[in-house]
Structure 1
Amino acid sequence: MRWKQYDFQSLKFQNLAAALAPIDVRLGGTYSDFMIFDPNGTDSFKDKQAPELYGNGYKFDSGFFDSPFQLENFTLSGKHWDILNTFIEKVGWNLMFDFNLFKWKGDLWDPSNAELLLNYSSERGIKIPYFQLGNEPNSYRHNFNLTVSPQILAEDYRILKSLISKYPLYNTSRLYGPDVTNLNVPHGSIQYLTDFLLSGAYNVISGISLHHYYLNARTATQDQFVNLTVLNSLKSQLQLALDIVTSSPVPLPVLLTETSSCFGGGATNLSDAYLAGFLWLDKLGLSAQYGISRVFRQTFLGGSYGLLDQNMNPYPDYYLSVLFKRLIEGPVFSVITEPADQQLRVYAHCARKNIYQAGDLVIYYLNIKDIEINLDLPQFQNADLDLYLLTPGDEAGLKSRYVRLNGDLLLLSNSTLPPLNPRPHRGPVTVSPMSFGFIVVPNFSVSLCLKYFARSANRG
């Protein structure tokens, strides 16, 4: 949240952001619990309300921009709030805003600073479709030596819901929580989420929000990024979440509101390399199969797991994300490979309508073998296919910070993205060892996709 170090007027920055639209962006994370909104403020400051939180020098995972600094209360001024929201509106993003939970009145959350921000924002017509409160509350004792029980947090969310109901601009905005950590970590996330729902939160929030990281940045290795056990570990996490949610009196959608390869800022030369795309693309495919309604990538800019580096240059995962957004929309389909092979992971979706026609199909794959594979698609053997094959960009191989599309190196031209054009093809598709990509089947008229877009047209 160090706003001043980013140039929101930069055409390069705007173009890179707009290429991902429409998306939801979360402004939150660890730093959200230290943010004080002051319409006329300029400088960060310490608040003596919770001195035990200061000066610990932690570097945590935060949202949107990931810049480490001492965890102390700081000011978000009206000026920088305006700049940020002007940028968000210009590039076509939708904001999820995470309020500071470390403001209390007795045992409960004090909404006065949130009310100040909402008053300011409402007067200026700033749209905020989604809200959260706090970040990873099940880990507060471990990280900050304080506790907010799931029962208290459920009551705090009721306070937030009551607050936003007063504003015509926000009374239909959705609340998501409780933003617990991985469901397999030793900080009680499973019990916390369960108790949060049992405390009646299912009547307050619009969806369950979780975080997920596969690995620890300090210990992650190259082999782990293509390890089947690591890849498949997400399945158990998602199934756990669905089991908890379906046992609730009101089953709610599940969101991954903070997720990447490695917690702790990402692993240098791994999370920022071509290699990271295996975990990222597989996560998108599995999340779709398990019905996860939204996946928020940690983070847009900064750290080793950012989509952009500090100079706003794209890492390979940026281009992978842009292609996913451009090509895919709607229902996911089960794909069976013969013979069954977990080292060839294949997913299928409807194609997005702004590039292709309703009913077209997208198949995407991860080949984690060190040999070429022929993808024989007997259903489409006479079809004209569009190939988007992604391979490492230079001699660094899997550790390359560059990526090629159909053999062409993807580089910005001044402030403009390179063309991301497909390669026309017919017949079996030969994919490179240790690579991933997308295959579009135009003019296929998948009935479920046709129905999906027909319903979307009727709603809109």
Structure 2
Amino acid sequence: MRQFLVGLREWKAMRSICRNLSNPILLNAVKAFSPLKLRLGGSLQDKIIYGTGDPKPQCTPFIKSTSEMFGFTQGCLPMSRWDELNEFFQKAGAVIIFGLNALNGRVTLSDGSLGGPWNYSNAAALIRYTVNKGYAIHGWELGNELSGSGVGARIGADQYAADVINLRSIINEIYQGLPDKPLVLAPGGFLDTNWFTEIISRTKPNSLDVITHHIYNLGPGVDQHLTEKILDPSYLDGEAGTFRDLQRILSSAGTSTIAWVGEAGGAYNSGHHLVTDSFVFSFWYLDQLGMASTYDTKTYCRQSFIGGNYGLLNTTTFRPNPDYYRPASHPTSFCCGFTANSIVY
């Protein structure tokens, strides 16, 4: 369900990918969809510190630890890796959405939620470094699956809205005088109607450009009945309520904020081999794309481009799985996810 869960299973594969960004198959697979939106994020994004030197953190990688939130220690993104990734993105003609560390500086409250304002100093340093280097970022997304009851962690809508407003202020300041400003996206979580209604209301009129939500409507990847679900139109139609509710929230609020599916992999926990990486999965995928368009979703971000059993590319050979060929002619803007742990290698 969360991209860090993908990471648990894909750790070796993702390390291989990021050590070999010059692989021509990987590069050409991204180029083929140019301009392909790539979302870099997932639960571990919220535990990343950026090695900008402002302030100077200890830049160490994620280490697996069952005692830590999300199963890993804090990790660091070195600017040398950020430079390499941006060079790859430029060569591939990719459009980048980057997920920021929304848990930085939080404290745990008595109700189990995380409170206190987001400490944005480290994220602001990364954004400033990115602008100074001339790297093009299409959007900065605040947090991953922290909305509503959250997945592993949660933040109240009032505090989250305040943090989004701060992110907008940071972007306005750092990008001042530049012709194009990136989008502000949030919260990258599962739809909770009350929570989403409140954050939309509190971020009007122009702090939040895109509200992003996640979908895994087939259930866990270990389910032995995934194929039956995928081929059952009545089951697939059940997800229409999510799209309908979000469309109603935005329409009622009279906001300019638009809706994206920020992450959708069908079956969580990396999908199911020989189902979500095979031809039959296209029936789920095409149904989702059509449903998203029906309810005015502007971008649909597939989890994932590579990794797990639901990736568009095979994790070993980088060669396309059947679904890779499906979205090219569809009117909904196409997007793919990269797991957060992949960016630190």
Scaled to the shorter chain, the TM-score interval is 0.7 to 0.9
| Aligned-partner Cα distance in 2 for 1:192–1:330 | 26
Q: SS of the counterpart of 1:194? A: helix
The match for 1:82 is: 83
Q: 1:44 aligns with which of 35, 45, 61?
A: 61
Determine whether 1:303 maps to 2:314: no
Report what 2:340 is aligned to.
none
How many Å apart are 1:279 and its aligned residue?
0.6
Alignment-mate amino acid for residue 72 of structure 1: T
Please state whether the residue corresponding to 1:214 is helix, strand or coil.
coil
**Given that residues 176 and 206 in structure 1 are in contact (C-alpha distance below 8 angstroms), is that contact kept between their aligned partners in structure 2?**
yes
- Tell me if the contact between 2:47 and 2:75 (Cα under 8 Å) persists in the aligned partners: yes
User: 1:198: how far off?
Assistant: 2.5
Per-residue deviation, 1:31: 1.5
Shift of 1:200: 3.1
Distance 1:162 1:30, change over 3 A: same
1:24 partnered with 2:28:
no
Query: Structure 2: which 5+ runs fail to align?
Result: 1-6, 108-115, 334-345
Instruction: Give the counterpart letter for 1:263 in structure 2.
Output: Y
Q: Which stretch of the first structure deviates more once superposed, 206-215 or 169-178?
A: 169-178
Q: Equivalent residue for 1:198?
A: 201
In 2, distance between residues paired with 1:220 and 1:170?
51
User: What is the SS of the residue equivalent to 1:229?
Assistant: helix
1:211-226 map, 5 Å: 211-216=214-219, 217-219=221-223, 221=225, 222-226=227-231
Distance across 2 between alignment mates of 1:45 and 1:276 = 32
Q: Is the 2:148–2:195 Cα contact (8 Å) retained in structure 1?
A: no
Shift of 1:142: 5.0
Shift of 1:139: 5.6
Q: Distance between the aligned counterparts of 1:17 and 1:155, measured in 2?
A: 35
Q: Amino acid of the residue matched to residue 258 of structure 1? A: E
Which structure would you say has the larger RCO, counting Cα contacts within 8 Å and 6 or more residues apart?
A: 2
User: Match for 2:138 among 129, 135, 139?
Assistant: 129
Give the Cα–Cα distance (whole angstroms) in 1 for the partners of residues 242 and 79 of structure 2: 39
Indicate whether 1:14 and 2:39 are aligned: no
Percent identical: 24
1:114 to 116, 123, 138: 123
- Structure with higher Rg: it is 1
Aligned residue pairs total 303
Q: Does the alignment pair 1:288 with 2:293? A: yes
Tell me the CA shift for residue 43 of structure 1. 2.8
**Aligned residue type for 2:104:** K
Aligned partners of 2:43 and 2:88: how far apart in 1? Answer: 22
Pairing 1:440-459 to 2, within 5 Å after superposition: none
AA in 1 matched with 2:217? Y
Partner of 2:246: 241
Partner of 1:138: 147
Q: Which residue of 2 aligns with 1:163?
A: 170
CA-CA distance at 1:219 after TM superposition: 2.0
2:266 equivalent in structure 1: 261
User: TM-score, normalization: structure 2?
Assistant: 0.81
Q: 1:98 to 1:276 in 2, by over 3 A?
A: same
8 Å CA contact retained: 2:298, 2:332: no
SS at match of 1:14: helix
Query: Unaligned regions of 5+ residues in structure 1, if any?
Result: 47-52, 60-69, 184-188, 332-460
Partner of 1:236, secondary structure, is: helix
CA 1:330/1:36 → structure 2, altered by over 3 Å: closer, same or farther?
Answer: closer
Structure 1 length-normalised TM: 0.61
Aligned pairs (5 A) from 1:356-395 = none
Of 173, 179, 183, which aligns to 1:174? 183
Structure 2 contact 289–332 (Cα < 8 Å) conserved: no
2:319 aligned partner: 313
Secondary structure at the counterpart of residue 16 of structure 1? helix
**Cα 1:165–1:171 shift into 2, 3 Å:** farther
Higher relative strand content: 1
Q: Is the 1:39–1:120 contact (alpha carbons within 8 Å) kept by the matching residues of 2? A: yes
Give distance in 1, aligned partners of 2:289 and 2:85: 27
Does the CA-based 8 Å contact 2:303-2:310 persist in structure 1?
A: yes
- Give me the whole-angstrom Cα distance separating, in 2, the residues matched to 1:330 and 1:254: 12
- Secondary structure of 1:247's match? helix
